């Protein structure tokens, strides 16, 4: 569950004010809006990567407004994927678990399991350079899921993918939801993403979030 109450957040000269919305546990919401309207800023605030000026953020009934990002239980896939280029795919998947000091045997098992059902087991010993767009997105998704998040935030996860790869990713995201039941907030400007994936659709416009028919 995500609940945002009267949140104000600034990114340089840009500011979002008095944002309010609620997303039930286990739902898949798509947030739409024109480029530059603040969708990424909102995700960064939820994840703790951008400090809010006022208002509160609640995740699964807990006020996490002042929590460190690592303890919010959010898996985040940024628009540029932000894979670590000097690490192997395996190390990228293990990164969050290593930071949390998860035992090595458990990390190995979780990375192996994730890589199998994401279809990237054959990539584990490669580095991100040279991976296709779809492969890179699967790795970024796997890194976010490795920590077994309670919330998944996706920023334009299907941008710049060809039609065939986009269709494959739709099916993969449906599988992720079925297997993990994770509450998901997916930012996009593609209406088809909402048609394919969402049970809740929101739009950010004129500084306010409104729910629209999915």
Q: Which CATH number do you get for residue 52?
A: 3.40.50.300
* Burial class (CB within 10 angstroms; exposed 0-12, middle 13-18, buried 19+) of 22: middle
pLDDT at 35: 84
Contact 171, 32 (CB under 8 A): no
CA atoms of 158 and 190, how far apart (whole Å): 9
Task: Give the distance, in angstroms, between the CA of residue 122 and the centroid of all CA atoms in the same chain.
Answer: 24
pLDDT at 214: 58
pLDDT at 53: 94
pLDDT at 10: 86
Query: Along the 214 residues of the chain, how does pLDDT read in single tens digits?
Result: 999 999 999 888 788 899 999 999 999 999 998 888 889 999 999 999 999 999 999 999 999 999 999 899 999 999 988 899 999 999 999 999 999 999 999 999 999 999 999 999 999 999 999 899 999 999 999 999 999 999 999 999 998 889 999 999 999 999 999 999 999 999 998 999 999 999 999 999 888 899 987 5
- Please tell me the total count of domains within the chain: 1
Q: Rounded to two decimals, what is the model's pTM?
A: 0.94
CA atoms of 97 and 115, how far apart (whole Å): 15
Host domain of residue 184:
2-212
CA atoms of 115 and 123, how far apart (whole Å): 9
């Amino acid at each position: 569950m995500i609940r945002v109450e009267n949140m104000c957040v600034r990114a340089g000269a840009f500011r979002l004010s008095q944002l309010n919305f609620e997303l039930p546990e286990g739902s898949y919401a798509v947030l739409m809006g024109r480029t530059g309207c603040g969708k990424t800023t909102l995700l960064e605030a939820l994840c703790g990567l951008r400090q809010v000026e006022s208002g509160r953020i609640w995740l699964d009934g807990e006020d996490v407004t002042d929590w460190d990002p690592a303890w919010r239980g959010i898996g985040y896939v940024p628009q540029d994927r932000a894979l670590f280029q000097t690490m192997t795919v395996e190390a990228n998947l293990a990164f969050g678990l290593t930071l949390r000091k998860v035992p090595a045997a458990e990390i190995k098992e979780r990375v192996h399991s994730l890589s199998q059902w994401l279809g990237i087991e054959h990539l584990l010993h490669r580095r991100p350079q040279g991976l296709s767009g779809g492969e890179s997105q699967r790795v970024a998704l796997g890194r976010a899921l490795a920590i077994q998040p309670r919330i998944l935030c996706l920023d334009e996860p299907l941008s710049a993918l060809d039609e065939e790869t986009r269709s494959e990713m739709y099916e993969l995201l449906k599988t992720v939801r079925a297997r993990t039941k994770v509450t998901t907030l997916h930012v996009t400007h593609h209406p088809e993403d909402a048609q394919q994936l969402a049970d809740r659709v929101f739009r950010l416009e004129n500084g306010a979030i409104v729910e629209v028919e999915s």
